[in-house]
Chain A
Amino acid sequence: MKTKTHQAVVLKDVPCPFCSLICDDLVIQNSDGKLTVKENGCAIVEAHFSQSPPDDTPALKGKSCSIDKAIEVAARILKQSSQPLLAGLGTDIRGMRSVMRLADNIGATIDHMHSDGAIRNTLVLQDLGWVMTTMSEIKNRADFIIFAGTDASNYPRFFERVIWNKDSLFSDVKKRKIVYIGDKLNTSAGKSLEGTLPTVLKCEQEEINEIISVLHTIIAGNKIHQPIIAGINLITLQKLANQMKEAKYGVIVWAPGELNFPHAELTIQSICELVKYLTRTTRFAGFTLAGGDGVMSANSLSAWQSGFPLRVNFSKGFPKQDVGRNSTKNLLKNKEVDALIWISSFSSNNNPPKANIPTIVLATPGTKLNFKPDVFIPVATPGIDHSGQLIRTDNVVSLTLKKLRDSKYKSVSDILNRMIDLI
């Protein structure tokens, strides 16, 4: 094969699709299809952009086949299924539009690979509501930031971009107070530019709720008689409570996917109750780090097209949300579904669940599978191989992703639309 040589192309202001911060200041060089991060990378970006897509082909039970054949077999599986599950859902807005169209068409259930976290937030939104903020507000207004159960290390540039940012409209960045509450947190990023160390309240993740509730109690002016709460001295909490009341614009950050224990939504509920209470006298807001793989986009689009956020079932011809029953894990465990499509078009490190039902996998080339699905179709990555849109972690800003290289792989949307045409 003749190798074509192109001049390296440098692209600026490139949005990154691999985490929900969607940093859009990347400088990427494309030399003959090989992408290199020139500026503003992070560990996640380096890992994904530097990967050349391995040569992967569609396959039926591990045996290579044409894409037409793969789509045809997939469509047949879906047609014969009486209760299919569309899971993974690692895709962009356009891919998700096709997911919804397909789900409505065949009466499927939809669930995202990161919806355990998304659901915890949904439950609180549907029960209590909240006071929230967005990235630019934190960057310019926050003077007091509490990290509850997360160190934001899965979002490598969070501190650089909105906590220790160089310029801020209203807040003295150097004087920002940082507090961590939780277990196994790497608090090194919380050290200020002047070397001030963050306050760290170390406790089990399950105990965050107790600490938040005690802070709420103190701030509301009620007495606590216990000297030690979840291993933390009451005096420490009283001091923290005072600082929170005095903050001009406080923020509590949590990552719902990292609060991974039964009924963690109650911890989020307590955080939101506390923020609401503080809002009576000062300004405070919540902020969530949502998880990647397009989970925010999937959740929002599901809501605008069906009326319900994720874990929606269309088997009765209309949408029905059930956040417990409709989880991928429960549906497979309870044998409530008889076919599975699993979609993951960003990271190649996501693995579909192994199920004893016909399984169709649409995944990034090079995804290592520990079983041979009935149908495998390698798919293009939004923001690398084709343009698209994603919604950012704050559920407000969305960005248009760029096509950075030519790819032989088709988008999730193209493949699903072809299946729909055959059904």
Chain B
Amino acid sequence: MLIKLSGGTVYDPVHGINGEQRDIYIQDGYITRKPAASVKIDKIYDLNGKIIMAGAIDIHTHIGGGKVNIARMMLPEDHRSDLVSKTKLTRSGCGHAAPSTFTAGYRYAEMGYTACFEPAMLPANARQAHMEMADTPMVDKGAYAMLGSDDFFLRMLAAKKDREAISDYVGWTINATQAMAIKVVNPGGINAFKFNQRRLNLDEQNEHYGVSPREIIKSLARAVRELGVPHPLHLHGCNLGVPGNMQTTLDTIHAVEGMPLHLTHVQFHSYGTEGDRKFSSGAAQIAEAVNSNPNISVDVGQVLFGQTVTASGDTMMQYSGHWHAHPQKWVIMDIECDAGCGIVPFKYRDKNFVNALQWAIGLELFLLIKDPWRVFLTTDHPNGAPFTSYPHLIRLLMDRSFRNDMLATINKSAAAASVLSSIDREYTLYEIAKMTRAGPARSLGLKDRGHLGGGAIADITVYNDLKDKEKMFEKPLYVFKNGEEIVKNGKIVKIVTGGTHTLRPDYDKSIEQSLKKYFDRYMTIKLVNFRIDDDEIVEHGNSNIIIQPCT
């Protein structure tokens, strides 16, 4: 099957194509070079005047795993306002803050996304995370295994095990849990909370182990690099949400001593303590640090107003934030000497000073960080807002007058405390293509995704060229997944399962001897049963495995 996408305006930053009219050819799921004139083209899409980009990639979205499922279970009132009926093609479900798996897959595809990465897969809960992702159709999935608060790792660090041993453990974890990268959440803090510590700064010690978040971050960042994991250590830093945490974030950037580091939902880590309310924007300082440290990438975790639910591995900070739960219900779980989770429903209000300033801080970060290759578009779904608000967020970035209109409606003190009104920058389509496609693909090491060159997987989104960018991005004209048309006019026309991205870093298998001993003595599952086999990912026909190379 040879398909021609004819005459569209192409944005493909990997190849430096910035809004040029190009034809794109698709053969058997891949993008291919222009065939010889004698070759018969099976189908031609006339896309004159339409915008073409690679399929979008969400580098950080909580779509699968225990904590998301607890959020689903605990929010029937949220679901009732967004029930989704079955159709001839699609399954029923529900949407909004913690959507059902099917609905999440459909809505991502209908928004032009073709891959989504679950950033907080607890190794102890990895099997369930994969089962949920397998039931999330349409898009490719992948997950980052969470380390840094697990007792096995902290024991190694406290015992001053050599770095090879730690790399072996990290490598084993990625293999055993079918992960794509390593995430660390409040490094050592989830563990410290189990010993009743309520706060843990970058250089404060976990009382039991005597190790600090700084040591944990350095150790894991090094292991990730030495294993050749393409994506840098994915860090949810210390002190999430705490006024003044900007300094922690700046110190963290310096702590890695030039090693690659990804700071996730950095908006929640960019707060100062100025002003009457001792809460201010640290966006300028953070942006400056990102701009001057090319080893750093970020995703923003933009806050948008309305009801949502926060679901995080950070039990320590979720516990301290539970007083603000809306509605007043919340869950904290300690999990398997591995990590934990906290689920706190939350309503961001535009007339609330703190929430309004959070909104402004996120936008300031987007607009002050200069290199769109290193800042990715996220709301930390669902923590800052559900992913369905991405088109609105894109309009805020691309349309200055719209942004200023919105700014005029938020809490006046917050608006006055923000530099947002003085920022003229408007993102271009080329920059949007970098931050939602090319950048995430490069950061994750997905060489055949995020671009439209020959040999790439034909994950392609076609948009109508509309002035209202929210309308444009919420309803693509076409979405192609592996070369198949799956969405037309913003609606699903074909169901596909999507695959699971994994990584297979090499490690010294002898680490399994100490792991087996540890599991036999202290865990409640056998090491051999902990590991997730390839068969489990593929056996229900809901997914296939895509092994990405290490560097």
Residues in chain A within 8 A of chain B (CB atoms): 13, 15, 24-25, 93-94, 97, 101, 104, 122, 125-137, 139-141, 161-162, 166-170, 248-249, 279, 282-283, 285, 299-301, 303-309, 314, 316-321, 389, 391, 395-400
Residues of A within 8 A of B84 (CB): 318
Of B233-241, B327-335, B387-395, B448-456, which stretch is located at the interface?
B327-335
Q: Can you list 28 residue pairs at the A/B interface with Cβ under 8 Å? A: A93-B131, A126-B73, A127-B329, A129-B330, A130-B332, A131-B333, A134-B334, A136-B336, A140-B151, A140-B522, A167-B522, A170-B208, A282-B196, A303-B73, A305-B91, A305-B101, A306-B93, A306-B100, A307-B72, A307-B100, A308-B72, A317-B85, A318-B92, A318-B93, A395-B66, A396-B66, A398-B127, A400-B532
In whole Å, how far is B424's beta carbon from the nearest beta carbon of chain A? 42
Is there a chain A Cβ closer than 8 Å to B128's Cβ? yes
Residues of B within 8 A of A162 (CB): 524
Complex: how many Å from CA A131 to CA B68? 16
In whole Å, how far is A184's beta carbon from the nearest beta carbon of chain B? 28
- Report whether A136 and B523 are in contact in the complex, using a CB–CB cutoff of 8 Å: yes
A126, A169, A319, A398: the one contacting B128 at CB < 8 Å is A398
Extra 19 A-B pairs, beta carbons < 8 Å, given A131-B332, A249-B194, A304-B72? A13-B528, A13-B529, A94-B540, A126-B75, A128-B329, A131-B331, A131-B333, A132-B334, A141-B194, A141-B334, A279-B319, A283-B193, A304-B101, A305-B135, A307-B72, A319-B94, A397-B124, A398-B128, A399-B127
- Report whether B336 and A24 are in contact in the complex, using a CB–CB cutoff of 8 Å: no
Complex: how many Å from CA A389 to CA B338? 21
Given contacts A131-B332, A136-B337, A305-B100, contact A97 B135 (CB under 8 A): yes
- Report whether B94 and A248 are in contact in the complex, using a CB–CB cutoff of 8 Å: no
Complex: how many Å from CA A98 to CA B331? 30
Q: How many residues on the B side are at the interface (Cβ–Cβ under 8 A)?
A: 64
Complex: how many Å from CA A283 to CA B208? 15
- Report whether A133 and B334 are in contact in the complex, using a CB–CB cutoff of 8 Å: yes
In whole Å, how far is A158's beta carbon from the nearest beta carbon of chain B? 11
- Report whether B69 and A300 are in contact in the complex, using a CB–CB cutoff of 8 Å: yes
Complex: how many Å from CA A136 to CA B527? 13
Interface residues in B293-352 by Cβ distance below 8 A to A read 319, 325, 329-338, 343
Complex: how many Å from CA A93 to CA B542? 13
B76, B131, B337: the one contacting A308 at CB < 8 Å is B76
- Report whether B194 and A137 are in contact in the complex, using a CB–CB cutoff of 8 Å: yes
Given contacts A93-B131, A122-B73, contact A396 B333 (CB under 8 A): yes
Contact with A along B67-80 (1 / 0, CB 8 A): 01110111110010
Residues of A within 8 A of B193 (CB): 283
- Report whether A397 and B525 are in contact in the complex, using a CB–CB cutoff of 8 Å: yes
- Report whether A126 and B333 are in contact in the complex, using a CB–CB cutoff of 8 Å: no
B332, B335, B533: the one contacting A137 at CB < 8 Å is B335
Residues of A within 8 A of B101 (CB): 304-305
- Report whether A285 and B334 are in contact in the complex, using a CB–CB cutoff of 8 Å: yes
Nearest A residue to B98 via CB reads A307
Which secondary structure dominates chain A's binding surface? mixed
Is there a chain A Cβ closer than 8 Å to B22's Cβ? no
Please count the residue pairs between chain A and chain B whose beta carbons lie under 8 angstroms apart in the complex: 191
Given contacts A304-B135, A306-B92, A399-B529, contact A130 B86 (CB under 8 A): no
The CB with the most chain B CB atoms within 10 A, among A131, A141, A161, A306, is that of A306
Complex: how many Å from CA A169 to CA B521? 9
B76, B125, B151, B330: the one contacting A126 at CB < 8 Å is B76
Residues of A within 8 A of B73 (CB): 122, 125-126, 299, 303, 308-309
- Report whether B524 and A397 are in contact in the complex, using a CB–CB cutoff of 8 Å: yes
- Report whether B525 and A399 are in contact in the complex, using a CB–CB cutoff of 8 Å: yes
Residues of B within 8 A of A136 (CB): 124, 336-338, 522-525
Residues of A within 8 A of B525 (CB): 24, 136, 397, 399
- Report whether B529 and A400 are in contact in the complex, using a CB–CB cutoff of 8 Å: yes
Residues of A within 8 A of B98 (CB): 307
- Report whether B526 and A25 are in contact in the complex, using a CB–CB cutoff of 8 Å: yes
- Report whether B125 and A304 are in contact in the complex, using a CB–CB cutoff of 8 Å: no
Complex: how many Å from CA A317 to CA B532? 35
Nearest B residue to A97 via CB reads B540
B76, B86, B194, B523: the one contacting A104 at CB < 8 Å is B86
Residues of A within 8 A of B521 (CB): 166-167
Is there a chain A Cβ closer than 8 Å to B274's Cβ? no
Given contacts A131-B331, A307-B99, contact A318 B83 (CB under 8 A): yes
Interface residues in B181-198 by Cβ distance below 8 A to A read 193-196
Complex: how many Å from CA A314 to CA B128? 24
Complex: how many Å from CA A115 to CA B330? 22
- Report whether A132 and B333 are in contact in the complex, using a CB–CB cutoff of 8 Å: yes
